[in-house]
Amino acid sequence: MAEQPLLSVENLTVQFCGDAGWVNAIEGVDFAVRSGECLGIVGESGSGKSVSALSILKLHSRANARYASGVIRYGGRDLLTLPQRRLRQVRGGEIAMIFQDPMSSLNPVLTIADQIMEPLRQHQGLSARAARRQAIELLEMVRISDASHRIDDYPHRLSGGMRQRVMIAIAVACRPKLLIADEPTTALDVTIQSQILELLRELQREIGMSVLLITHDLGVVAEFAQRVVVMYAGRVVESASVAALFERPLHPYTEGLIRAVPNLDEDVHRLATIPGNIPDPSTSIAGCRFNPRCREAVKSCLAEPPALVDTGVGHFARCPPRIAAGRIV
């Protein structure tokens, strides 16, 4: 239990500059990724899940984003204060990332070979020949048939699923310790999605890497991750093991979200809903950020921002009334 996590994000606050000045995109975010596990971060638009993921490798533009507080511990260092040169060694090497849209994240004017060889030459100092040989192996590893020919194609010649396989090959080229996958299957059809998730699962086992999976799809998290962090309006509202979260969600938002997902295996008369709308990050809400939409909000929810509390079994929630009620039972 006391094992040191591979990566831990502590009290992270990231601000963006907009029309209304500096606004907290995420506030006081805490989570940790353990060795070899898959941690899912779920949330709807504006929840801050992608902002959190991009912050790990400091991928926000310096012009309009700033890291207002927090540390990101990785291998005994704080990635937020690491010099640029050292950070570049981590990016794409020990920590790699894949994005939602494989079309816009591959360079259209470079061949697949150029793009897979780049991290191999950059991080591992391989010769062009050795890098090419390894690139072909990587393409085979992500199950691209006829890899030795396909490698000289340009991205537009590949289907969406194939492109995501290439992105994954690039990401795992240096056998990373952590793979950050930001909505890796959102742009894909469902039969292709299941192929890509299966591939990620196999690679994770083979390489022994941890995966930080960012998604809006609760089903994907339920099937792929071991632990989940739920974010709402820039804050972590709940975190737990997958089994605990889906069986006994503590936070009313998590519960509402799970119930709002249409059921594939049952007929229902009407879907359960969460009333109201997702708040804009610039609007200030006193107390709990979810209180305007919460059916159980009490007076204290409107006054004080609640703390993220451990219920004792590694299940954290930011909802004092629910947690208090749980203790009585």
Partner 1 sequence: MSAPSIVVVRDLVKTFAARGALLRAVNGVSFDVRRSETLGLVGESGSGKSTTGRILVGLEAATSGSIKLFGQEISSTGGKAALAAVRRRLQFVFQDPQNSLNPRMRAQDAIAEPLDVVGGLSRAARNDRVRELLEMVGLPSSCGDRFPHEFSGGQRQRIGIARALALRPEFVICDEPVSSLDVSMQAQIVNLLLDLQERLGLSFLFIAHDLAVVRSISARVAVMYAGSIVEIAPKRELYTFPRHPYTQALLAAVPRITPNKTRTAVVTGELPSLIDTVPGCTFHPRCPFAFERCRAEKPELREIAPGHLAACHLHETPV
3 touches partner 1 by CB under 8 A: no
190 touches partner 1 by CB under 8 A: yes
308 touches partner 1 by CB under 8 A: no
Q: Which one of residues 3, 19, 265, 313 is an interface residue with partner 1 (CB under 8 A)?
A: 265
Query: What CA–CA distances, in Å, run from 258 to 154, 229, 236, 315?
Result: 41, 14, 16, 17
273 touches partner 1 by CB under 8 A: yes
CB of 257 to partner 1, least distance (A): 6
Using CA atoms, how far apart are residues 221 and 48, in angstroms rounded to an integer?
Answer: 17
Residues 34-73 that bind partner 1 (CB under 8 A): 44-45
100 touches partner 1 by CB under 8 A: no
Residues 233-252 that bind partner 1 (CB under 8 A): 243, 246
Using CA atoms, how far apart are residues 192 and 165, in angstroms rounded to an integer?
Answer: 11
298 touches partner 1 by CB under 8 A: no
75 touches partner 1 by CB under 8 A: no
Using CA atoms, how far apart are residues 144 and 116, in angstroms rounded to an integer?
Answer: 13
CB of 124 to partner 1, least distance (A): 32
CB of 222 to partner 1, least distance (A): 5
- Starting at the edge strand found earlier in the chain, the sheet holding 309-310 runs 95-98, 178-182, 210-215, 38-42, 227-232, 235-241, 316-317, 309-310
Token pair of 327 as six digits: 């203790």
Q: Which one of residues 270, 295, 299, 327 is an interface residue with partner 1 (CB under 8 A)?
A: 270
Q: Which one of residues 17, 261, 285, 286 is an interface residue with partner 1 (CB under 8 A)?
A: 261
198 touches partner 1 by CB under 8 A: yes
260 touches partner 1 by CB under 8 A: yes
Query: Under DSSP, is residue 190 helix (H, G, I), strand (E, B) or coil?
Result: helix
Angle, helices 128-141 vs 112-124, to 10°: value is: 120
274 touches partner 1 by CB under 8 A: yes
Which of these ranges, 20-28, 66-74, 90-98, 274-282, lies near partner 1 under the rule CB under 8 A?
274-282
220 touches partner 1 by CB under 8 A: yes
Taking the mean position of all CA atoms in its chain, how far away is CA 106? 20
Using CA atoms, how far apart are residues 83 and 141, in angstroms rounded to an integer?
Answer: 34
Of residues 69 and 195, the one with the C-beta less far from partner 1: 195
Number of residues that bind partner 1 (CB under 8 A): 43
Contact 142, 198 (CB under 8 A): no
Q: How many CB atoms lie within 10 A of CB 136?
A: 19
Q: How many CA atoms lie within 13 A of 294 on its CB side?
A: 22
Residues that bind partner 1 (CB under 8 A): 44-45, 159-162, 189-195, 197-198, 216-220, 222-224, 243, 246, 256-258, 260-265, 267-268, 270-274, 277-278
